[in-house]
Chain A
Amino acid sequence: MLDKDGIALLSKLCTMTEGEKFSVYDWTDVFGGEIDEERKNLWRTLLQQGCVSVKYSDDEEVCFAVTLKGRNINEELATMQVVEDENQTVVRTDATGRPVMVVKDETFFENMRKKLHSRSIGFVWGIVGGIIGGIVGGSIVALIMHFAIH
């Protein structure tokens, strides 16, 4: 699965090349700066996902094409809008640009807190339901026994 940077790079590569035609670019043009380990990993991910096909590469330049799969993925993700704010909110929009779903890029601890919170709510409501059920059930049994005896 591509992350935010992978999506951005794929989108850039799609605009840099036409169809499945191979083009030659300097690495600095591809990444908009010097190539580092993080960028190398990003490129490897695109290769592994089959989004990019490389015919030739050396330390300075690369001959590549965006595959049909890569273009399809890019088109699918074209409606995905990444909004940079303090919460790193990812907004999925429809063809008209109207937001249809908001997915928050939350940290691990935030996710855990939410999970625990939802579990504790479930636990409390389970106990409350049990008590109410017990009271109602007990009352019904008591009433039946009361009328049966008298």
Chain B
Amino acid sequence: MLSKKQKLLMKVIYSHAIKKEGVCLIRPIDLLKEIPLSSDFRRDELESNLKALVTEDFFEMITTDKKGEEYYCFTLHQNGYAFSRQIAAEKRAIVFKLILTVAGAILSFTLVRILTAIAG
């Protein structure tokens, strides 16, 4: 299960890589720029989160450089390609839970009303 920060990171990498046949070249600074400020993602957390995603086999990562400037080269793996499906499935699960909760609440309310009517 990915953490919130890993998901944000993965979203950025996926959106870049999917446009270029599963491969993308991006500077660490650009990667951080695209992560919402509200997530409180620090520069020193980047490396560890990327390594965690590599371990989970979401992508292959190569640290490279262009004229002395650091770049990351990502190549999506099977889990990486499935990331959007995973997010969609999680969204569906949340929506389902939400519907279930609302339905439960309505049912409870109705039940209470019925019982009140019978008792009263």
> Interface residues, chain A, CB within 8 Å of chain B?
21-25, 55-56, 58, 61, 63
Contact = CB atoms under 8 A, between A and B. Distances in A.
B17 to A, nearest CB: 10
Interface stretch (B6-14, B60-68, B85-93, B102-110): B60-68
B20 A25 contact: no
A61 B75 contact: no
A58 B20 contact: yes
A24 B20 contact: no
Given A56-B23, A56-B25, A58-B20, A24 B71 contact: yes
Interface of B: 20, 23-25, 62, 64-66, 71, 73, 75
A21 B64 contact: yes
Contacts of A23: 64-66
B25 A61 contact: yes
B75 A55 contact: yes
A55 B65 contact: no
Nearest to B27: A24
A33 B66 CA distance: 18
B74 to A, nearest CB: 9
A80 B43 CA distance: 49
Contacts of A55: 23, 62, 64, 73, 75
Given A21-B64, A24-B65, A56-B25, A63 B20 contact: no
22 contacts: A21-B64, A22-B62, A22-B64, A23-B64, A23-B65, A23-B66, A24-B25, A24-B64, A24-B66, A55-B62, A55-B75, A56-B20, A56-B24, A56-B73, A58-B20, A58-B25, A61-B25, A61-B66, A63-B25, A63-B62, A63-B64, A63-B73
